[in-house]
Structure 1
Amino acid sequence: MYSVERFSGVRAFVAVAECGSFNGAAELLGLTPSAISKAVSRLEGSLRVRLFQRTTRRLKLTADGDLFYRRSAQALAGLADAEAELAHGKDVPAGTLRVDLPILFGRTWITPVLLSLGRRYPELELDISFNLQGVDLFAEGIDLAVRIGALQDSSGLAARSLGQQHRVLCATPAYLDMHGRPASVADLANHECIAETRRGRPQPWPYVDEAGAAQLFAMKGRFRIGSAEVLADAARSSQGIAMLPRWFVASELRSGQLEPVLPQLFNTSLPINVLWARNRYLSPKIRVVIDELFRLYGTNPPWEAL
């Protein structure tokens, strides 16, 4: 059982970690720097760990301190949300909602929904982050996330499918007129294949061979790009062949500005899921987003029709 004194120490500790100084935390909480310092020292004593590395010029979280900060900040945020829900009614979305999204898909399809809900519910605060790679929802204090691709570790998480993201291998007719149209996967070795990178690593292209078996093509090209938007720009400027979300280049495919390459083989899709912590109680701020996403997209996701 946490005592009032230890709870106060946790509040002081979180404030110091977020402000970067005892003075800043003291101003934030309306206390003296001495009181903040003593509260943190008592907390360290009760936990029997050092939470900060202190020097004359710098205050830095230790590894234990970083872990404790993440958990403590999440717990305090939960308390703040509970207070907001009680103050504004149990069924009214209120408090801070932390959402993590894939960059391109999230900005195009999810962010407009979130901003619309923000206008509808003035007590709802939005904290939206964008990541190519998924983050740990629990460690980062994320309430809701959208993920594209196979789920790696969903223990403790609830997931609901939001359809598929279809992908297409494509290039401009000008590039293909100059370099030839590949008739087989082996022909791609003679082409400029533009690789998408994640954490600096080129991602191979998945395809299904003539026998129906799933395969991967590891391209070796001059261009390695960590942004789908820039990847599309490179393909549009006739730099080579790229794999892109079909919805993102649908207009160019319809107009003929881009042409599918080996569409009978490279016609893959990735699952899209909405994730949140698996709790018996789903707060209104999370529930309203899930309900709105599936009201708008649940039956016929528009990106699948493009």
Structure 2
Amino acid sequence: MARTFERVFIEVRTELRSGETIMDLLKSMRIFERVADGASYTLAARELNMSTGSVSRLIFDLEQHLATRLLHRTTRRIALTPAGKRYLARCHSILEALDEAEAEAKSIHISPTGCLRVHASQSLAQHYLVPAVRSYRERHPSVQVGLTLSDSPVNLLAGEFDMAVVATEVLRDSSLIGTRLGSSYSVMCASPNYLDVHPMINRLADLSNHSLVCLAPSWSDNVELTSQGANGCETVSVQPGLCISSQSSLANALELGMGVGLLPLHAAVDAFRDGRLVHILPACQFEHVDIYALFASKMFLDAKVRTWVEHLKGSFAESSKNVQLVLYNTSDLQVA
């Protein structure tokens, strides 16, 4: 647009009467535009679903405010005065700019377009989000995606991101809207080489005889491992051999045969498929989490966020089926 919305707003505001709102003035300008373009009070009143008297009164009030006659009125016709012609041109310009701004704002909520800014962890992105982005952009090529990967918490209310995908046991922030996409858990893993030279692991208590690689920001003397399995909830305390703060580095350490450790199921499934890791204690599930799509508000939700969240629901459901299929197909490699 040749003139910005901010400039138009300033122009309209300078013309306000005492006690009048911008909406009141815009209404008067639109009515004047209809009367002038159609050269008829009656026609304008019919188009605006108003009485002819109301239209006439509003035009009179507008002229009083401007201290200028805008229309010549006779019993047969209506004609613009020179001042009316200049004001009509001004009204056309202002209302056209406002209509364009309004249409642009409304289209955001109707058709997905623009850049979708998403925050997520590295493992969720690699195994769930990147494939989902590919299929989403095939459906909505007018949307570009900015995917920021970090395990640090994100403040969605700050406006830097449109939404976040998180895996958590409890959704604590009540100021955010959370759509549950699915659930997951962690699995105990080790490399085939490690298991070839170390004692069998038949139950949770056997882990105390092994080198545990755990995810932690710093060294910890003891780590409590709690599993949910056929025998209910069991807990064992194990002294780790290695604490590491990066999940991808933890997976690498396990593949190098440095011990046993927990990985989120979605982060371990490719290694199970390729035979780089073995699923230990397959009847046990650790660290259950729910996976959520989080965003700041549900009112007037941007179309790209709405369609992306709906797409994620289906994508996560399909990915979960594929993960379970991999577990079933690699069951012959699992250590009982």
Normalised by the length of structure 1, the TM-score is: 0.61
Contact 1:97/1:143 (8 A) holds in 2:
yes
Q: Report the Cα offset of residue 275 of structure 1.
A: 1.1
Contact 1:97/1:125 (8 A) holds in 2:
yes
Residue 279 (structure 1) aligns with: 298
Residue 208 (structure 1) aligns with: 228
Residue 240 (structure 1) aligns with: 259
Tell me, in whole angstroms, the C-alpha distance in 1 between the residues paired with 2:319 and 2:226: 25
1:260 aligns with 2:279: yes
Give the direction of change, closer, same or farther, for the CA distance of 1:214–1:285 in structure 2 (3 Å limit).
farther
Give the direction of change, closer, same or farther, for the CA distance of 1:128–1:218 in structure 2 (3 Å limit).
farther
Which amino acid in the other structure matches residue 119 of structure 2? D
Secondary structure class of the residue paired with 1:243 = strand
Which amino acid in the other structure matches residue 255 of structure 2? R
Matches within 5 A, 1:167-206: 167-197=186-216, 199-200=217-218, 204-206=224-226
Tell me, in whole angstroms, the C-alpha distance in 1 between the residues paired with 2:107 and 2:284: 54
Matches within 5 A, 1:1-306: 85-86=104-105, 90-118=109-137, 121=140, 123-139=142-158, 141-197=160-216, 199-200=217-218, 204-208=224-228, 212-213=232-233, 215=235, 217=236, 219-253=238-272, 257-298=276-317, 301-302=320-321, 304-305=323-324, 306=326
Secondary structure class of the residue paired with 1:222 = strand
Normalised by the length of structure 2, the TM-score is: 0.57
Residue 54 (structure 1) aligns with: none
Q: Percent identity?
A: 26
Structure 1 portions without partners, runs of 5+: 9-81
Report the structure number with the largest CA radius of gyration.
2
Contact 1:192/1:222 (8 A) holds in 2:
yes
Deviation string 1:233-266 (CA, Å, 9 cap, x unpaired) is 2111211101113343335435654333233344
Q: Report the Cα offset of residue 163 of structure 1.
A: 1.3
- Stretch deviating more after TM superposition (108-117 or 280-289): 108-117
Contact 1:85/1:92 (8 A) holds in 2:
no
Q: Report the Cα offset of residue 204 of structure 1.
A: 4.9
Tell me, in whole angstroms, the C-alpha distance in 2 between the residues paired with 1:90 and 1:252: 41
Contact 2:188/2:262 (8 A) holds in 1:
yes
Secondary structure class of the residue paired with 1:213 = strand
Tell me, in whole angstroms, the C-alpha distance in 2 between the residues paired with 1:211 and 1:164: 21
Which amino acid in the other structure matches residue 232 of structure 2? G
Contact 2:124/2:266 (8 A) holds in 1:
no
Contact 1:101/1:129 (8 A) holds in 2:
yes
Tell me, in whole angstroms, the C-alpha distance in 2 between the residues paired with 1:85 and 1:200: 50
Give the direction of change, closer, same or farther, for the CA distance of 1:94–1:300 in structure 2 (3 Å limit).
closer
Q: Report the Cα offset of residue 136 of structure 1.
A: 1.9
Which amino acid in the other structure matches residue 259 of structure 1? V
Residue 77 (structure 1) aligns with: none
Contact 1:101/1:147 (8 A) holds in 2:
yes
Q: Report the Cα offset of residue 154 of structure 1.
A: 2.7
Tell me, in whole angstroms, the C-alpha distance in 2 between the residues paired with 1:271 and 1:120: 27
Which amino acid in the other structure matches residue 127 of structure 2? T
Q: Report the Cα offset of residue 141 of structure 1.
A: 3.0
Contact 1:85/1:93 (8 A) holds in 2:
no
Contact 1:166/1:304 (8 A) holds in 2:
no
Deviation string 1:55-81 (CA, Å, 9 cap, x unpaired) is xxxxxxxxxxxxxxxxxxxxxxxxxxx
Give the direction of change, closer, same or farther, for the CA distance of 1:145–1:85 in structure 2 (3 Å limit).
farther
